[in-house]
Amino acid sequence: MLRNLLVIGVLVIVLTCTVSGQQRPVAFINARIIPIVGAPIEQGVLIIQNGKITAIGDARTVRLSSDVQTIDLAGKVIMPGLVDTHSHIGGPAGADSTAPIQPDVRILDSLNPRALSIQRAQAGGITTANVMPGSGHLDSGQTLYLKLRDDPVKIDDLLILDKNGKYMGGIKFANGTNSIRSGGGSFPGTRAKSAALVREQFIKAQEYRDKISKAGSDKTKLPPRDLAMEALVEVLDGQRTVHFHTHRHDDIVTALRLSKEFGFRIVLQHVSEAWKVADEIAKAKAPSSIIMIDAPGGKLETMDVDYKNGAALEKAGALAGFHTDDGVTDSRWFLRSAGLAVRAGMSREKALYGMTMANAVMLELQDRIGSLEVGKDADVIVLSGDPLSVYTHVEQTWIEGKKVFDRSDPKDRVYATGGKGASDDGDAHSDIHCFDGDLGGGN
């Protein structure tokens, strides 16, 4: 029954397209498909058209129409495009050094859409990224959810729009030592002060919101516009997710406490010591975005960072995904995160979910990306082999039905391997200060 419906469905779609003269459908055939939602399909067929997935299934169930353009991917593996919940590609900078909390600044106004770091991220199979300002502030500004589309003329060409046509993004917060500055004027000197300063601003935002709602339709009673307060009100109203940089177990719990107190939507970022408080994270139903670092330390609050965070969060029943924090780790090797998580005990399924669907959920894009399902964006990567093997390369990256990276094209290949022309735009790590501030520019 289901099989028949699928066949009919595909036929209907194909017919419709022929009639309306839309883009020719493309069918990826003979690959092993890992749809993330649903079981892997050994000899799969994936059909995309007009930027969307129109059919997915087994070679025996999905029929190909006569006008379909087929791409034979025998021996290859197809997955959804990877979603990076924490990146600094495009050399963005958010808050300046004048204050510890700056919700008004936007990555929208800062990112270079033509940066080669974006090309390199495509080469790593990343199709969607949350690009953020750094962690040298309690709040360093508004983040931006981007599709890494090809040939952008301006930043607008990379934006993801919500139902109301508004570009999507979150806001970056941080606790722990990065935002603490001894003798730093308005900056905090302790962890308690850090939390107090954040609490103070959210209380102000609550009052600002109350004034607006009291004013009702009487515009004369509206408070003067305040860009910082407007952003924080969006946070209070659940329209803007807080991406909370946090490493040590007690800092993680503090972030959860603030989230509960003000009712904001949170994604815990980095979570170096998640394995110590996995049950608390699960109980709070907070998602975690994990960074995978090859050795402990680098700073005191990450002395116990461990590959086992993924396994610990999975065991606790918490939603967990991974991020690059590019250039702290390199977008080109993002799939390594899943491999190393499995090394440390995470299940294969959850590790791959943590590269895709879990991250789509964290960015509230679960209806559009993160899995290969009919109706979703045609964000697809083609791999030379198993996604968890070191020997596997990303061979193709497709975003919304358009191929944006092809390893067999020498121009693209250099973005994957490095070499002359891969990173000469000077952006390689110009403004990385998220995991900390020592790699590049100031805080």
Partner 1 sequence: MLKVKGKKAKFVLTAMLLLISGFCLMPTAYGQLAVKGETVWTMAGEPIKDGVVLINGGKIEKVGPASSTQIPPNYRVLSAKVVTPGLIDAHTVIGLNGYLNQPHDQMALDGGASFQPELRATDAYNAEEKLVEVVRQYGITTIHTGHQPGALVSGQTMIAKTWGKNVDEATIVPTAMIAVTLGSGANASGRSPGTRAKQVSMLRAELIKAQENEAKTEKAKDLKSLIMARVIKREIPLLITAEAAQDISTALRIAKEFNIRIVLDGAADGHLIANEIKASGFPVIVHATMARPGGDRANLSVENALKLRAAGIPIALQSGYESYVPKTRIVLFEAAMAAANGLSQRDALASITIDAAKLLGIDSRVGSIAVGKDADIAMYDGDPFEFTSHCTGTIINGVVVSEVIK
Q: Is 438 in the site for partner 1 (CB under 8 A)?
A: yes
How near is the Cβ of 38 to partner 1 at its closest, in Å?
A: 23
Give the contacts of 410 (CB within 8 A, at least 6 positions apart): none
In angstroms, what CA-CA distances link 285 with 102, 317, 318, 320, 369? 27, 9, 7, 11, 22
Site for partner 1 in 337-356 (CB under 8 A): 339-340, 342-343
The neighbour count for residue 109, using CB atoms within 10 Å, is 13
Q: Is 77 in the site for partner 1 (CB under 8 A)?
A: no
Part of the chain binding partner 1 (CB under 8 A), chosen from 133-141, 143-151, 258-266, 293-301: 293-301
How near is the Cβ of 119 to partner 1 at its closest, in Å?
A: 12
Part of the chain binding partner 1 (CB under 8 A), chosen from 22-30, 199-207, 280-288, 326-334: 326-334
What is the distance between the alpha carbons of residues 335 and 343, in angstroms, rounded to a whole number? 13
Site for partner 1 in 371-390 (CB under 8 A): 388-390
* Size of site (CB under 8 A) for partner 1: 40
Q: What single string gives the DSSP state of each residue in 235-266?
A: HHTTSS-EEEEE-SHHHHHHHHHHHHHHT--E
Q: Classify the C-alpha dihedral 415-418-420-425 as positive or negative.
A: positive
- Smaller CB separation from partner 1, 63 or 249: 249
DSSP state of 387: T
- Sole binder of partner 1 in the list 35, 93, 436, 443 (CB under 8 A): 436
Q: Which residue from 45, 51, 52, 49 is spatially nearest to 28, judged by alpha carbons?
A: 45
How near is the Cβ of 182 to partner 1 at its closest, in Å?
A: 14
How near is the Cβ of 297 to partner 1 at its closest, in Å?
A: 3
Strand residues in 3-68 grouped as ranges (E)? 26-33, 41-49, 52-58
- Smaller CB separation from partner 1, 284 or 414: 414
- Sole binder of partner 1 in the list 303, 317, 367, 409 (CB under 8 A): 303
Give SS3 for 231: helix
What is the distance between the alpha carbons of residues 125 and 121, in angstroms, rounded to a whole number? 7
- Sole binder of partner 1 in the list 294, 375, 408, 410 (CB under 8 A): 294
- Asked if 370 and 357 count as a contact pair (C-beta separation under 8 A), the reply is yes
Helices (H), 21-169: 116-123
Q: Is 295 in the site for partner 1 (CB under 8 A)?
A: yes
How near is the Cβ of 341 to partner 1 at its closest, in Å?
A: 9
How near is the Cβ of 314 to partner 1 at its closest, in Å?
A: 15
- Sole binder of partner 1 in the list 122, 302, 309, 443 (CB under 8 A): 302
How near is the Cβ of 32 to partner 1 at its closest, in Å?
A: 18
Give SS3 for 41: strand
- Smaller CB separation from partner 1, 49 or 324: 324
- Smaller CB separation from partner 1, 218 or 294: 294
Q: Is 149 in the site for partner 1 (CB under 8 A)?
A: no
Give the contacts of 74 (CB within 8 A, at least 6 positions apart): 30, 31
Q: Is 442 in the site for partner 1 (CB under 8 A)?
A: no
In angstroms, what CA-CA distances link 44 with 39, 78, 335? 11, 9, 22
- Sole binder of partner 1 in the list 281, 428, 431, 443 (CB under 8 A): 428
Q: Is 251 in the site for partner 1 (CB under 8 A)?
A: no
Q: Is 410 in the site for partner 1 (CB under 8 A)?
A: no
Q: Is 426 in the site for partner 1 (CB under 8 A)?
A: yes
* Interstrand relation of 394-399 and 402-406 (parallel, antiparallel or unpaired): antiparallel
- Smaller CB separation from partner 1, 209 or 308: 308
Q: Classify the C-alpha dihedral 326-235-320-374 as positive or negative.
A: negative
Q: Is 418 in the site for partner 1 (CB under 8 A)?
A: yes
**Tokens at 48, concatenated:** 């995309």
Give the contacts of 411 (CB within 8 A, at least 6 positions apart): none
Using only C-alpha atoms, the chain has a radius of gyration, in whole angstroms, of 22
How near is the Cβ of 403 to partner 1 at its closest, in Å?
A: 22
DSSP state of 106: B
What is the distance between the alpha carbons of residues 161 and 143, in angstroms, rounded to a whole number? 14
- Sole binder of partner 1 in the list 391, 408, 410, 411 (CB under 8 A): 391
What is the distance between the alpha carbons of residues 372 and 368, in angstroms, rounded to a whole number? 10
The neighbour count for residue 300, using CB atoms within 10 Å, is 10
Q: Is 297 in the site for partner 1 (CB under 8 A)?
A: yes
- Smaller CB separation from partner 1, 139 or 326: 326
Q: Is 293 in the site for partner 1 (CB under 8 A)?
A: yes
Part of the chain binding partner 1 (CB under 8 A), chosen from 52-60, 105-113, 184-192, 423-431: 423-431
- Smaller CB separation from partner 1, 292 or 369: 292
Which chain residues interact with partner 1 by CB under 8 A? Answer: 293-300, 302-303, 327-328, 330, 333, 336, 339-340, 342-343, 388-393, 417-420, 422-424, 426-429, 435-436, 438-439
